[in-house]
Each structure stands twice: as C-alpha cells, then as structure tokens.
Amino acid sequence: MINNKRVVVVLPAYNAEKTLKGTVREIPSTVDTYILVDDNSTDGTVALAGELGLQVHVHENNRGYGGNQKTCYEAALAAGADIVVMLHPDYQYSPLLVEPMASMIAYGVYDVVLGSRILGGGALKGGMPRIKYVANRALTLIQNLALGAKLSEYHTGFRAYSRDMLLSLPLDANSEDFVFDNQFLAQCIYLGARIGEISCPTRYFPEASSINLRRSVVYGFGVLKTTLDCMAARIGLYRKPIFDFPPIQLKKQNQVVSQILKEIQ
C-alpha cells in the first residue's frame, strides 16, 4: 500500500512466458495484488503466472489488446484497487517505476500517470524503430494541438490510474484492439483529468511485443478518428458512445478539494 491506498498491478499478457518472470521480479513490494489476464496464449504464460503466485484470468478466445485491458480493470476494481498500474509483461518498460507512478496518484497529485518513452530522449537509444518514433511524434503533435494538452506521448503502454478515474469512464464502449489505449487517454482529457508523466527507459528486443506495419497504420488512423470524435463531442457536433459522459467532472471535484484545503490552511 502507498498512503493507505491499495495498489494493484495488472499485466495484459499474450505469449509472455519468456519475459514474465523478469518483469514480475522487478515490481516493487509496495504492490498489494498482481493480476495477469491471458488472452488465449499458446505458450506457458498461464502456468508460469500460477507458479509466480499471480491472480490469473484466462480468455477462452483471443479478445485483443483492448479486450484484455477491460478484463484487467474489472478484475482490479473487484480486488479493491485504489490505484491500478497497467504494466506490459514483455519487459519493455521498467517495473521499478510502478511505485513512483502509483505514489503520484496515492498522494493526490494526479488522476493518471504515464510512463513516457519520449521524456529524457531515450526512445531511440532503447531501440525504438525510427519509423515508429517519427509516427509517435507526429500523432502526439496532432493530438496536443487538437485536444489542447501538452503530453510528450499518447502511445505508451505503461500507465497508472486512480479508482475514480476508471469508474468515471465508459470503457466497455472502447475498442477491443490497440486503439483502446488512445481512446482511454482521450477520454481522460475530455473528462478534465489531471495527467502526469514520468520518464521511462524502454527496451526493444525480439521478445518484446510489437505490432506490424499494417496494424500500426490501422492504429494511426484510429488515433486520428478518436481525436476528431473527441473534438466533436467538445463542441457538441456529435457524441460517440466513448464520449457519452459529462466532461470535466473530475476537474471540478479536484478544484473543490483544493479550495477546501486552502481554507483549512
């Protein structure tokens, strides 16, 4: 626990047998529960997760990256999580950063914290393919301009959320594919959530998960569509189901809390 907040790490897994043990070994002891959701792997991921003492949920059919995360968050909330950290079990991101990311939420600084591969300039040094780096920077620039945010990247798979954040969004309406992450973040911005970032070194190697060029292109167009849908919801042009909830709810709540604290001081 951190500041009396229960911390749960969720690991959306698909054929992660080779990297799972190394990932779990580096997760800080302040984590209360470890939950792995297996998306119908064909290797020994499930058996190894059981040996490591993880809480395991198995999809009988492959639901996709977004579908996997939906189960992750449902299981984490059911386990009483106050803070949920989503960490890929492929050892691409540093598990050592789970504690500082969770701490930013536990002490009320942010509602969402992202582990950024771009901050610190280590993405290319860590082996990120140059074409993916360029695409990351271009899409991030477009979304920052369109959504009025100032994030270093929108595409990291290392994230921490407060319980209230997860309960405030219609996540079931999101895609079951890779664009789920981007939809989730656009929803957070639309809601007015406080979003923080921490520099995260990244590692690209053969066993690290990655999507091919075709799926990357599909993802890129999905990001642009998500951005347009968010803008449309903001100006009242139309509202897709993923943005069918009251905006700036959390922001108002945080402003009330801040005002109360000022009055006490």
How confident is the model over 25-60, as pLDDT tens digits?
A: 999 999 999 999 999 999 999 999 999 999 999 999
| pLDDT at residue 127, rounded to an integer | 86
Model confidence band, residue 261 (pLDDT cutoffs 50, 70, 90)? very low
- Does this model's pTM top 0.85? My answer is yes
Residue at 111 is within a domain: yes
Residue 12: inside a domain: yes
Distance CA 113, CA 198 (A): 7
Is pLDDT above 80 for 255?
A: no
Predicted local distance difference test score (pLDDT) of residue 99: 98
Element (H, E) at 224: helix 213-235
- Over residues 191-196, mean pLDDT: 96
Can you give the CATH number for the domain in which 27 is found? 3.90.550.10
Q: Is residue 105 included in any domain, yes or no? A: yes
Structural domain span for residue 15: 7-264
The share of the chain scoring above pLDDT 70, in percent, equals 91
Q: How confident is the model over 235-253, as pLDDT tens digits?
A: 999 999 999 987 755 544 4
195-226 per-position pLDDT tens digit: 999 999 888 876 666 677 888 999 999 999 99
> Tokens 């999809």 appear where?
59
Tell me, yes or no, whether 82 lies in a domain.
yes
CA distance between the termini of the chain: 27
Number of domains making up the chain: 1
From 16-20, 181-185, 255-259, the region with the lowest mean pLDDT: 255-259
pLDDT-wise least confident of 128-132, 133-137, 186-190, 208-212:
208-212
Would residue 2 count as lying in a domain?
no
The set of residues, in sequence order, having a beta carbon less than 8 Å from that of 41 and lying 6+ positions away, is: 13, 14, 15, 16, 17
Does 75 reside within a domain?
yes
